[in-house]
């Protein structure tokens, strides 16, 4: 359920949460119902549950174990319920934010970018803390993590430091002055929280998003399937779609030519259909301004 609270209240809730964290009062923090509800909305927008639930095998929500195939090997999402032994029950808020923003685990090891931290680094502090509050409120599930099936040396986590130095720019989202509130909200959702670029942007040989071709689509998306160009290119992108067409797709999965999206996007629509209409339209408003990049190999 979308939880709408006035801006000032959000700020106060965040400040309060911060105070509680630094005062070491996790129990009081987790019972702030407003913050938890906001976190649930944001976690939904970020599709955390889709990757962190092994739905195909009846896995419990957020308990991890979903296999994610990549060109480098297969990853298994970790348990992010508050179970102290097998989940993130012993993590602090600061450790959680470091995972989200810098791709670093509580034990200091690097996470692989199959976890979309290169996008999540843009999530605002107040949203990050709300997601944390929500995760803390979940029932703990005992389920051991499974390490990824990767060949050496790829499996060696310290090597990821080199990848980060080459391809990763940490930093919270900053609104663009002179753009409307809706446009900035859309930019935030697309580039950070809802991480649309993680699937819709082509990747280089080392698996990093090619920023110069942001949202231009790829023939080699998740599970090796093609992902369409969603820039405003008229022929090969969605330049011919109106704001309403994009918002409708995100609400129902229906394209303007009465087709419906499936596969990975079908899952995305499960979460975008639960966003507020204002958030779906904000995404559409922003997408309409993404510069056209034509893709001869698409469509």
Nearest distance from C-beta of residue 40 to ligand HEC, angstroms: 11
Q: How far is the CB of 116 from ligand HEC (least distance, A)?
A: 5
Asked whether 197 and 173 are in contact (CB, 8 A), the reply is: no
* Of 287, 149, 136, the residue nearest 215 (C-alpha): 287
Compute the least distance from the CB of residue 167 to ligand HEC, in Å: 15
- Measured between its terminal Cα atoms, the distance across the chain in Å is 36
Please, which residues have CB within 8 angstroms of residue 99's CB and are 6 or more apart in sequence?
91, 105, 106, 111, 115, 117
Q: How far apart are CA 60 and CA 138, in angstroms?
A: 11
Chain residues in the site for ligand HEC (CB under 6 A): 43, 46-48, 51-52, 68, 75, 77-78, 80, 88, 96, 99, 105, 111-112, 114-116, 120, 131, 148, 190, 194-196, 198-200, 221-222, 225, 227-228, 230, 238, 246, 249, 255, 261-265, 268, 272, 283
Of 195 and 213, nearer to ligand HEC (C-beta) is 195
Tell me whether residue 82 or residue 148 sits nearer to ligand HEC (CB atom).
Answer: 148
Comparison of 13 and 280: residue with beta carbon closer to ligand HEC: 280
Task: Give min distance, CB of 8 to ligand HEC, in A.
Answer: 25
Least distance CB 144 / ligand HEC (angstroms): 11
Could you count the other beta carbons within 10 Å of the beta carbon of residue 139? Answer: 11
Nearer to ligand HEC, 12 or 94 (CB): 94
Cα gap 116→113, rounded to integer Å: 6
Q: Is the dihedral of CA 117, 120, 122, 123 positive or negative?
A: negative
In the bound state with ligand HEC, the residue whose beta carbon lies nearer, of 8 and 281, is 281
Write out the two tokens for 103: 């791709």
8 A C-beta contact, residue 38 and residue 130: yes
Residue closer to ligand HEC by CB (options 179, 245) is 245
For 176, counting Cβ atoms within 10 Å of its Cβ (0-12 exposed, 13-18 middle, 19+ buried), the class is exposed
| Residue 184: other Cβ atoms inside 10 A | 19
Task: Compute the least distance from the CB of residue 80 to ligand HEC, in Å.
Answer: 5
CB of 72 to ligand HEC, least distance (A): 11
- Alpha-carbon distance 258 to 248, whole Å? 11
Instruction: Give 114 or 243: the residue with its C-beta nearer to ligand HEC.
Output: 114
Closer residue to ligand HEC, CB minimum distance, 12 or 166: 166
- Residue the block writes with tokens 């034990």: 107
Burial class of residue 237 (count of CB atoms within 10 Å of its CB; 0-12, 13-18, 19+)? buried
Least distance in angstroms from the C-beta of 9 to ligand HEC? 22
């Amino acid at each position: 359920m979308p939880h709408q609270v006035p801006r000032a209240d959000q700020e106060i809730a965040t400040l309060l949460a911060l105070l509680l964290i630094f005062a070491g009062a996790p129990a009081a923090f987790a019972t702030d119902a407003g913050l938890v509800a906001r976190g649930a909305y944001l976690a939904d927008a970020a599709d955390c549950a889709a990757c962190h639930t092994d739905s195909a095998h009846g896995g419990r929500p957020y308990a991890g174990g979903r296999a994610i195939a990549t060109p480098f090997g297969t990853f298994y999402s970790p348990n992010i319920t508050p179970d102290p032994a097998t989940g993130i029950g012993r993590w602090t808020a600061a450790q959680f934010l470091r995972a989200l923003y810098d791709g670093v685990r509580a034990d200091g090891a690097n996470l692989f970018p199959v976890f979309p931290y290169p996008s999540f680094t843009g999530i605002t502090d107040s949203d990050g803390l709300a997601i944390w509050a929500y995760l803390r409120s979940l029932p703990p599930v005992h389920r051991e993590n499974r390490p990824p099936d990767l060949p050496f040396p790829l499996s060696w986590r310290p090597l990821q430091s080199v990848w980060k130095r080459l391809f990763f720019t940490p930093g919270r989202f900053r609104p663009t002055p002179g753009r409307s509130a809706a446009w900035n909200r859309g930019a935030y959702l697309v580039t950070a929280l809802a991480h649309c670029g993680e699937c819709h942007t082509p990747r280089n040989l080392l698996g990093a998003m090619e920023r110069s071709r942001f949202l231009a689509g790829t023939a080699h998306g998740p599970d090796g399937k093609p992902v369409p160009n969603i820039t405003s290119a008229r022929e090969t992108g969605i330049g011919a779609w109106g704001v309403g067409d994009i918002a409708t797709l995100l609400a129902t999965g229906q394209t303007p030519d009465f087709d419906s999206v499936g596969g990975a996007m079908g899952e995305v629509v499960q979460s975008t259909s639960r966003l507020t209409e204002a958030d779906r339209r904000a995404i559409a408003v922003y997408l309409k301004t993404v510069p056209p990049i034509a893709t001869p190999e698409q469509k």
